[in-house]
Amino acid sequence: MTTCSVFPACFKRVMIIRQPAVAGSFYSDNPTQLQSDIEGFVVRDCDKQPVLGVISPHAGYIYSGRVAGNLYSRITIPDTVVILAPNHTGYGAPYSIWPGGQWRTPLGDVTIDEVVVEELTDACSLLEKDRAAHLYEHAAEVQIPFIQYFNPRSEIVVIVLSARSVEDLKNIGKKLSQVLQKLRPHALVVASSDMTHHESQASANRKDKIAIGEVLAMNEDALYSKVREMNITMCGIYPAVTMLVCSKERGAKRAELVRYETSGDITGDYDHVVGYAGIIVR
């Protein structure tokens, strides 16, 4: 399977298309089935609101789709969405931004907002244009079909974060805020994260309650320190910290938990679960 395609366009511009890496495993590779699956997770007749940031899970849809669907049903999806993802593969630059072109899913192609990419890489020297960190990473990819479902016109910016320091994350969050306020004031920032991994239901609930509490308090420093000190295996801690900093810089005042579940609520296995939270920041 190739994960990146190059197409000439009038011999003037090379169009890079990032091919889906986990279609057929994390979610259906059949467009009709994928559309139907998403519709099964959507909450009908929900009051939608514009928000600045969210935390959304990134497991296979059979496990975390209900939480993600509930979350996306509650918000207005604007024409630019910035997706912050952790790096599960270890490939690529530590702070990696996909440079341009499009990302493909079974629902079609989504265009990269290259204006934001260029402005952000000029403003933030930490960010490096890079593809290696993205090619096999699932955490950003699984957000995109939900974005397409609710706003097919949306363009995206995709950043993969492997933190060297919390100060770097804060710096990126502040620079992202400045660029969005200048260019895309209504943009949404999605922090892609699952919560506690492979512990009992009771342990996951206890640890995740602590981490979620710090997100709801919008205290990125306490979130970061407690996740580290208490060994809370929240894989998207770096995206979450960056999103919180960015959202607060953009004027966010409060956060709300939309839904929390574990894989045990789906499978019935409560001995080894993964937690999933959908959180709104506005």
What's the predicted TM-score (pTM) here? 0.96
Residue 271, CA distances (Å) to 10, 200, 203, 234, 253 in order: 57, 4, 9, 18, 37
The pLDDT of residue 6: 60
Residue 227 CA, chain-centre distance (Å), reads 19
The pLDDT of residue 7: 54
Helix%, strand%, coil% for the chain, nearest 5: 40, 25, 35
Residue 2 CA, chain-centre distance (Å), reads 23
- What is the C-alpha separation between 242 and 246, in angstroms, rounded? 6
φ/ψ of residue 207, rounded to 5 = -70, -45
- Residue 174 burial (CB < 10 Å; 0-12/13-18/19+)? middle
Q: Which has the closest alpha carbon to 81: 129, 153, 10, 166?
A: 153
Helix (H) or strand (E) holding 158: strand 155-161
The pLDDT of residue 14: 73
The pLDDT of residue 238: 98
Q: Give the pair of three-digit tokens for residue 80.
A: 């630019």
Q: How many CB atoms lie within 10 A of CB 81?
A: 25
Residue 107 CA, chain-centre distance (Å), reads 18
**Could you read off the pLDDT tens digit of each residue along the chain, which spans 282 residues?**
456 776 554 545 678 999 999 999 999 999 999 999 999 999 999 999 999 999 999 999 999 999 999 999 999 999 999 999 999 999 999 999 999 999 999 999 999 999 999 999 999 999 999 999 999 999 999 999 999 999 999 999 999 999 889 999 999 999 999 999 999 999 999 999 999 999 999 999 999 999 999 999 999 999 999 999 999 999 999 999 999 999 999 999 999 999 999 999 999 999 999 999 999 999
- What is the C-alpha separation between 105 and 28, in angstroms, rounded? 10
The pLDDT of residue 63: 99
Give the sheet arrangement for strand 4-9, strand by strand. Answer: 4-9, 13-18, 102-105, 108-111
| 33-51 burial code (b ≥16 CB/10 A, e <16) | ebbebbeebbeeeeeeeeb
Q: How many CB atoms lie within 10 A of CB 186?
A: 11
- The domains found in the chain, sorted by start residue, are 17-281 (3.40.830.10)
